[in-house]
Amino acid sequence: MYPLRRNRRLRSNEAIRNLVRETVITPNDFLVPLFVVEGKGVREEIASMPDYYRLSLDNLEKEVKELWNMGLCAVLLFVKVPDNLKDNFGKEALNANGLMQLAIKTVKNACPDMLVMTDVALDPYSIYGHDGIIENGKILNDESAEFLAKMSVSHALAGADVVAPSDMMDGRIQIIRESLENEGLVDTGIMSYSAKYASAFYGPFRDALDSAPVDLVDIPKDKKTYQMDFANREEAIRETRMDVEEGADIVMVKPGLCYLDIVRDIKNTFDVPVAVYQVSGEYAMLKAAAEKGWLDHDAVMMEQVLAIKRAGASIIASYFAKDVVRLIG
């Protein structure tokens, strides 16, 4: 007795596989992270992130025009702050003519319809490399959250469409939302890093921005007091619920591949878009393995981004965005 239903019929050739495919990747799925530095004519490859670059404002302008022409219409901006502008309080982050504010304006002048999201965090501005203000060896939650709200307003006034607090301070979404509303910035969105884990996958990113926690006595050597324990699953729902109730428009899970169970849990629980950050370590591992000839770069890359979308991501922040779009044509 042979089966009446043969599932292999729908896998028998490329045409039928394409026709019944459940998950499809397009340029509209991607948010492109960009690293911005001071100077002119700078296009500096990041050693631990092959084929990815730090860009000065003039090259940022060229990059966003190229992205736009490729159909990539959303960017997430990060800045590498010179050491002489760093302190414990992040004061440079509020400079209306600071690097982030100028980067926002550069993107908007180059491509007015490009969606601009901005990293809202203290670590690029901190002499300690932490996401909050430090006092007596402790990261201060409420004071840090209040400062992040001021930073968000500064980004919005410069033209940011969405602010993206990546710090994991408790209650910061509500303070940011209230501050934006009080300034009349009611259309500015918030993409909260709601389930951001204390992951070992962030190393190359911290190299890119020189933002790793410093190794000093009486200063926390990692971010485990505010980023989530990667052993925890239910906690991600609690964190995300708080952010949604406080006014987040989009929630994010970070990192990506090791946390797809969290992505699906959040997708099934909340009715807001879910973003996933495919982080620098994930990027660097594939680049290194492909360079050694151990993995097929393009095949694994596509499998990874499809898995992230299949898990429930509406938005994928990925350093592979341009590679994917070139591949899918």
Active-site residue list: 196, 254
Angle, vertex CA 262, rays to CA 258 and CA 263, nearest 5: 95
Contact (CB, 8 A) for 265 and 237: yes
If phi over 0 gives left and psi between -120 and 50 gives alpha, with beta otherwise, what is residue 10? alpha
What is the greatest pairwise CA distance in the chain?
78
| Nearest-angstrom CA–CA distance, 303 and 31 | 18
Q: What are the b/e assignments for 125-156, b being 16+ CB within 10 Å?
A: bbebbbbbbbeeeebebeebbbbbbbbbbbbb
Residues shown for the chain: 329
Tell me the three state secondary structure of residue 113: coil
| Nearest-angstrom CA–CA distance, 44 and 34 | 12
The encoded tokens of residue 103 equal: 């980067």
| Nearest-angstrom CA–CA distance, 286 and 29 | 20
Alpha-carbon torsion (32, 35, 39, 41), positive or negative: negative
Percentage helix, strand, coil for the chain under 3-state DSSP, each rounded to 5: 45, 20, 35
Contact (CB, 8 A) for 240 and 190: no
